[in-house]
Structure 1
Amino acid sequence: MKIWKSYHTVTAFLQSYKTNLLILSLYGVIAIGLMGPMASSEVIFPYPDPQSHIGYVHQARLALEEGQFPLRVAPVENHGWRYPGFQFYSQVPYLFGALVYKFITPSNPYDAYKLVIWTSFLVGAFYIYRLSLWLIHSQTGAILAGISYMSAPYFLNNIHARGAFTEAIAQGILPVVLYYTIQCYATGKRRYLLMSSLSWFLLATTHIITFIYTTLAIGILSFIVFLKTRKIGFQWSQLLPPVIAYGLGWLLAFYFLIPVVLMSGNLAVGKQVGGSNPFYSRWYTPLSTLISPTSLPPAPSETGFAPTYGLHPAVGWIFLAAWGVVIYYHYSSRRVPYKLQSAQPYLIGSLWVFLIALFATWSPVDFWKFLPRQLWVTQFTFRILTHVMWSGALLTGYAVVLIFRQRLDRRHLVIGILIIVIASRPWLPIPRSTATVADLIKEPLFRYSGALDYLYRAPMTTLYGGAELPLLPLDWLPGYATWDVFINRPLLLGAEFRYPLWQNNEKPILHLQGEVDIDNITGTASLEVQSDGRPFDTIPLTSRALNWAIPVDRAPIFGEDLGLKFVLKGSTNDGQMLKIQVDRLFFEGMSPARMVIPVFVTQNSCSQKGISTLCEITLKEDAQIVQLPILYYPQMLKVWVDDQLMQYFPVNHRDHNLVGLNLKPGTHKIRVIFHGLVWTNWISSLTWLGFILASVTLFIQNKLKIRS
């Protein structure tokens, strides 16, 4: 009897959602086809960015197993020093990827990565379908709108050329935001308000750039809708539900967004964004390739491809044709079907969003210099094509109905699917890669700029003995050249580094230990050590091994700090800068209050237990500063020493800032947890509690209404 009842329930459910399930199945099959270049489960394509994201999926699983929720710290990135990549970069895609990896594809993070992307295809297309159906009242047109969205050239570029995992997932969430925001405005219903706020939260914690520009794009759409409806039944109260939903979305994501806002000025990526005008990236988006009917690089090259293989941003002729059809019908005074008239304000708004986004992507005029620097976060103008995608997809469904009117049937659907999919085919690159999942699992790291973007940079205010000195200037920017310094540790010859002065009772000695590329020296050479441009010591370069002690207390001082520089006296065989790999660069001779027990010593006395880093460290009289294997972030860590909360401060280890503690001689038990900003956590927690209570209350009320 129970089996028969269960069968009856499942059958009734399938019957009531039959159409939606069939449409989802169609989208699922098309999505599998569009993921053709990623068919292998062993060889990773594209290269190299997906390896970084797949590595983060692996680390997200480790973070979940530690007990992290929400995800904050990448457990093995940056030597395992608790790098908060998830706290500052993205959370939702890696959380879903980790859950899939743990419970569905436990031996292959690449399969989990692909399954999350496939879901993004599905969700994005389905919600474009739902919104389009609500606007144009044509199932065929709405289905084609969804397919045009998932087949958009830039969507495929993000997945197959850039490997922009988080941005691709954001492109799947964006239509959800759009649908529920419009429903929230049109109906004011509480369920749409709650779903709208949840979708804004998901977008914010997935990809901040898409979140910011979606806010602007929906703002433009809302303004056009307001202009078109202000005299025909518009009420100011309609604006309240979507505004509340947006604010609620912010509060739900407060623990994530506010640290980004407050800390970005001191994070490496913050300096990069503020100094990089997107206008100078427009060489990637000339108008001719943007509107090309096939995938073309922005400029001729020896290989016939762009510098990033397959990255050929374009609008796509499906969207261009749809925009042209709608413009023609709108401005040629042709009669629009009655059932479309109520949707006209939204579709005219889509026309303007499409045009503005396309212009911003291509613009020959540097309007960016007049905009707030915060909007430079987009970095590349081609990212704005995301808003060409959703507006173009809505216009596609509208254009289909305008052309065929009431004559639309299944034949048009089949032919439309073929045309859209075939038109997107040039943006599916031939896969080229030798990177394997097996190799990635051995070392699942993000690497490169992703490992540097969210390092906290604090100026050196105290000269510590025993701590490794920076090898880069304080204003360094993330990139491959910077990554080379982090990995290969070259001494930057000719660059001046400024250090705080020592106390009167100290006689600092600078130790330089490393390896010289002696075979590249022509004749004899030496390093001249300068203080504010004046030499005070010379290091002869006569052997491969370099080990020199520099009495810095003899250096001429002309200000309130020391400007130290190493200058090569001599020449090299290849005319390039001489390579000197630094093993150690540190001061000695400081007072015990400024002597550090360095991280390579303390790391052996520390272990990870869940989300806590536990250390047991013994100090003697000669050093009172402990440098922990934990990256420094002000107010975002809790540190207990012998069960007492303690203040911490930054101590440099090369170009990392690590947690420093001032302790008395003896043995101390230390526990450290990364928790983010406490007050933002409380605000988000209380908002989530209210959100859950409101959702449960609404659910119970609906159940009671159904029963009554």
Structure 2
Amino acid sequence: MIAIGLMGPMASDSIIFSTGETQAHLAYLIQGRMALEEGQFPLRIAPYENKGLRYASFQFYSQIPYTLGGLIYKFITPNNPYTAYKIMLWGALLIGGLFIYRLSRLLTCDRIAAILAGLSYMSAPYFLNTVHARGAFPEAIAQGILPIVLYYIIRTYNSPKINYILLSSIAWFALATTHIITFIYGSLFFGILGLLLILKQPKTRALRKQLTRVTISYISGWLLGMYFLMPVVLESKYVSMRFYVDQISPYVTNWMTPLANLLSPTALPPTPTGEGITYGLTPAVGWVFLAAWGVVLYYYSSSKTLPSNLSANHTYIFGLLYIFPLALFITWSPINFWHVLPRSLWVTQFTFRFLTHVMWSGALLIGYASILLFKRHLNSRHLLIGILLIVIANRSWLPIPKGHITVNEVLGDPKFGHSGAVDYLNRSSVDTLYGNAQLPLLANTWIPGHGSWDHINNRLLPVVLENEPSWRILPVWKETDNPVLILEGKVVQDTVPNPTTLLVTVLELHSDKNKEIIGEISLNQPRISARIPFTSEKLKNLEFHEGLFRLQFIVKRNIEQGQRPKIELDNFVFEGMSFENTIIPLDVTKDQCMLRGIKTLCKVSVEEQARVVQLPAMYYPRMQRVKIDGRLAEYFPVNYYDYNLVGLRLKPGNHNIQVIFVGLDWANSISFVAWLSVIAIAITLNTNNIKKMSNKTIKK
């Protein structure tokens, strides 16, 4: 009932809470159902996104939430995906609170203290921020799974029963395939908790067995999720999100987590203007958790002895007392310690995400604090007062509903938009300048976000002011080629002062001084249609080191900083290339291809004038199975603006082509064997238990 009440800001079934990323994640859920109906299992490809070009968002981002959400939408709420979305979030709140309750009861042996611990977790300020203000669907589901993982880690640590190892492995798998950031830092913080427990325990053979069981369960979780985790580990270095992680430190986001706000008793925005990255996002610890930490610290550090029932929990209390302030300090990040950490840890993106670890440690401390304050004399009166205090203390983190986007609007066009549509594009370098291939628009180091998505979605030519460090690096053409740049598109006139000229400029790879203007285009016209030869005479003074050159489009006019003329491109290609490096472009092949289930099937006719075929499928190396006329074939990336699409080099003639996204075959096989092993062990254990119960019954 309390979990339902905490879903209050999402009460409407027709208008979504649309200030954060709710719209994007609702679109993900809708596409999750589409993927299931295609026959995908597990989910890997978003069928609708990026004009159906087989975008592998589910392979790299999240699977469990959209698989379960898609199933609920298909079979339980077939007319309203938002209801399925809300059921998933309600379940995360409920399950997260339930397993904190179970763990707290295990540790404190007190039902009332455990209920208060569970309630404090599900109503934690950051949990409510994640569900409502941020609309971070996978992270909210992960916050519901995290207590399951911790519960079974403790069970595995304290008991030799094999079924706890199996359940712990499955919990780790569920967390990994739900939200990779929560999985990474959950692994780290649970590891720190384990280290603190080891420091307070004698180093015995029993301890080694305990650690072995926990380690086996963690490794088993990796094996179960190998089909998902290995592409993330091995292939994500080529995707767009990795460029974000490598360039932007979480330290730059600490303006959203000033200490005063983190310790505030009510929800407050991080700046006096009331502005944040999204409406209602007010990261805070919550006074309930702060008070619990203070109470437990006082009793633990004072001369007072712990109650007899908590004496066995001495090591857990010690660990939680350190975990809580550590997570709080990292959230605050008052000094830049991030620059000495591996860049892979920058994956967290925002420091406020560490409040997740304040949540679970603080919630368990609530259980201990209740016992310590009331000396095990807790009753229903204490429970009622505790519930009221927790709900009242955290109520201000339930934002007033705000939004105007309807569920039907999202159903009509279920795109991720800037919240995911370009995060998992493969960015492998294309080492050949292909004729007829639409050229990339953005600089090679672009990072995903509003601006980059807008450029890609609207195909905006990247124009710059003079001396601005922004360009695209491209491979140099061959000596036998006669490249001509074709530039056609619409000029948005209200963005262009009069008169304005666009300078097409070629630069050497490492020198801004060595450059040549090879073309000038007036922008004071509704459309542009230019043919610009890249002649050896014009470029004879340039040296193209490493077989690369830089291409830049400079506005010749004084324009205020931040303003740019907008040119919406229809055609941005090189012509005049050799037949071997001229493509049959997507605009032609998309009509020769069809989708049948998870397979892209094409019947393509290749002539002498173009030997490379560009297919309507995004390029992901080693994760696609491509067949030409029934035989496996090598494939490579070919540009279609800023997308890398699958390219094939074919002989003249008619060809039947098949493309399937399969992930990493070897990782799939490991996961398959791991799941068979878990199922076999579980069946064996259950069979043995049934036999034992039958024998006991016969004896009676």
Structure-2-length-normalised TM-score = 0.95
- What secondary structure, in the 3-state scheme, does the structure 1 residue paired with 2:462 have? coil
- The whole-number CA distance in structure 1 between the counterparts of 2:504 and 2:265 is 60
Q: 2:62 aligns with which of 90, 114, 117?
A: 90
1:111 alignment counterpart: 83
Verify: 1:432 aligned to 2:414, yes or no: no
1:437-456 residue pairs with structure 2 within 5 A?
437-456=407-426
Q: 1:668 aligns with which of 655, 663, 673?
A: 655
Question: 1:305: how far off?
Answer: 5.0
Q: Which amino acid aligns with 1:71?
A: L
- What secondary structure, in the 3-state scheme, does the structure 1 residue paired with 2:17 have? coil
Q: 1:362 aligns with which of 320, 324, 332?
A: 332
2:24 alignment counterpart: 52
- What secondary structure, in the 3-state scheme, does the structure 2 residue paired with 1:456 have? coil
Verify: 1:34 aligned to 2:34, yes or no: no
2:511 alignment counterpart: none
1:413 alignment counterpart: 383
1:129-208 residue pairs with structure 2 within 5 A?
129-208=101-180
**Mean Cα displacement is larger for which, 32-41 or 514-523?**
514-523
| Native 8 Å contact 1:572 1:578 kept in 2 | no
Question: 1:699: how far off?
Answer: 0.9
> For residues 638 and 398 of structure 1, do their structure 2 counterparts lie closer, same or farther at Cα, with a shift above 3 Å needed?
same
Q: Which amino acid aligns with 2:123?
A: S
1:530 alignment counterpart: 505
1:650 alignment counterpart: 637
1:630-641 residue pairs with structure 2 within 5 A?
630-641=617-628
Q: Which runs of 5+ in 2 are unaligned?
A: 465-469, 508-514, 696-700
Q: 2:584 aligns with which of 597, 618, 638?
A: 597
Over residues 91-117 of structure 1, what are the superposed CA-to-partner deviations in whole Å (9 max), with x where a residue is unaligned?
Answer: 001111011101110011110000011
Q: 2:471 aligns with which of 496, 502, 516?
A: 496
1:322 alignment counterpart: 292
- The whole-number CA distance in structure 2 between the counterparts of 1:568 and 1:408 is 74
Q: Which amino acid aligns with 2:672?
A: S
| Native 8 Å contact 1:522 1:571 kept in 2 | no
| Native 8 Å contact 2:189 2:357 kept in 1 | yes
Q: 2:356 aligns with which of 365, 386, 394?
A: 386
Q: 1:544 aligns with which of 488, 513, 526?
A: 526
> For residues 576 and 285 of structure 1, do their structure 2 counterparts lie closer, same or farther at Cα, with a shift above 3 Å needed?
closer
Verify: 1:510 aligned to 2:497, yes or no: no
- The whole-number CA distance in structure 1 between the counterparts of 2:548 and 2:119 is 63
2:510 alignment counterpart: none
- The whole-number CA distance in structure 2 between the counterparts of 1:519 and 1:247 is 59
- The whole-number CA distance in structure 2 between the counterparts of 1:434 and 1:522 is 35
| Native 8 Å contact 1:520 1:574 kept in 2 | no
2:608 alignment counterpart: 621
> For residues 295 and 573 of structure 1, do their structure 2 counterparts lie closer, same or farther at Cα, with a shift above 3 Å needed?
closer
> For residues 367 and 503 of structure 1, do their structure 2 counterparts lie closer, same or farther at Cα, with a shift above 3 Å needed?
closer
Question: 1:518: how far off?
Answer: 4.2
- The whole-number CA distance in structure 1 between the counterparts of 2:237 and 2:524 is 44
Over residues 181-236 of structure 1, what are the superposed CA-to-partner deviations in whole Å (9 max), with x where a residue is unaligned?
Answer: 01101112101000000000000000111111111111111111112222689531
- The whole-number CA distance in structure 1 between the counterparts of 2:246 and 2:478 is 37
- The whole-number CA distance in structure 1 between the counterparts of 2:3 and 2:674 is 36
Q: Which runs of 5+ in 1 are unaligned?
A: 1-28
Q: Which amino acid aligns with 2:591?
A: N
**Mean Cα displacement is larger for which, 666-675 or 523-532?**
523-532
| Native 8 Å contact 2:440 2:642 kept in 1 | yes
- The whole-number CA distance in structure 2 between the counterparts of 1:210 and 1:552 is 50
Verify: 1:422 aligned to 2:392, yes or no: yes
**Mean Cα displacement is larger for which, 247-256 or 280-289?**
280-289
- The whole-number CA distance in structure 2 between the counterparts of 1:217 and 1:562 is 46
> For residues 335 and 525 of structure 1, do their structure 2 counterparts lie closer, same or farther at Cα, with a shift above 3 Å needed?
closer
1:10 alignment counterpart: none
| Native 8 Å contact 1:462 1:500 kept in 2 | yes
Identity of aligned residues (%): 52
Q: Which amino acid aligns with 2:403?
A: S
- What secondary structure, in the 3-state scheme, does the structure 1 residue paired with 2:276 have? coil
1:4 alignment counterpart: none
| Native 8 Å contact 2:18 2:405 kept in 1 | no
- The whole-number CA distance in structure 1 between the counterparts of 2:549 and 2:305 is 77
> For residues 94 and 505 of structure 1, do their structure 2 counterparts lie closer, same or farther at Cα, with a shift above 3 Å needed?
same
- The whole-number CA distance in structure 1 between the counterparts of 2:173 and 2:259 is 34
Question: 1:572: how far off?
Answer: 5.9
Q: 1:458 aligns with which of 402, 406, 428?
A: 428
- The whole-number CA distance in structure 1 between the counterparts of 2:523 and 2:325 is 62
1:21 alignment counterpart: none
> For residues 609 and 571 of structure 1, do their structure 2 counterparts lie closer, same or farther at Cα, with a shift above 3 Å needed?
same
Verify: 1:123 aligned to 2:95, yes or no: yes
- The whole-number CA distance in structure 1 between the counterparts of 2:115 and 2:495 is 65
Question: 1:542: how far off?
Answer: 4.9
| Native 8 Å contact 2:582 2:610 kept in 1 | yes
| Native 8 Å contact 1:521 1:572 kept in 2 | no
- What secondary structure, in the 3-state scheme, does the structure 2 residue paired with 1:531 have? strand
- What secondary structure, in the 3-state scheme, does the structure 1 residue paired with 2:500 have? strand
2:690 alignment counterpart: 703
- The whole-number CA distance in structure 2 between the counterparts of 1:248 and 1:633 is 27
2:563 alignment counterpart: 576
- What secondary structure, in the 3-state scheme, does the structure 1 residue paired with 2:552 have? strand
- The whole-number CA distance in structure 1 between the counterparts of 2:102 and 2:586 is 55
1:195-274 residue pairs with structure 2 within 5 A?
195-230=167-202, 235-274=207-246
Over residues 477-507 of structure 1, what are the superposed CA-to-partner deviations in whole Å (9 max), with x where a residue is unaligned?
Answer: 0011101101222222244333222223321
- The whole-number CA distance in structure 2 between the counterparts of 1:687 and 1:150 is 33
Q: Which amino acid aligns with 1:325?
A: V
Question: 1:48: how far off?
Answer: 4.0
- The whole-number CA distance in structure 1 between the counterparts of 2:561 and 2:325 is 52
Q: Which amino acid aligns with 2:305?
A: R
Over residues 596-628 of structure 1, what are the superposed CA-to-partner deviations in whole Å (9 max), with x where a residue is unaligned?
Answer: 111111111111111111111112221111100
- The whole-number CA distance in structure 2 between the counterparts of 1:98 and 1:376 is 31
- The whole-number CA distance in structure 2 between the counterparts of 1:659 and 1:683 is 27
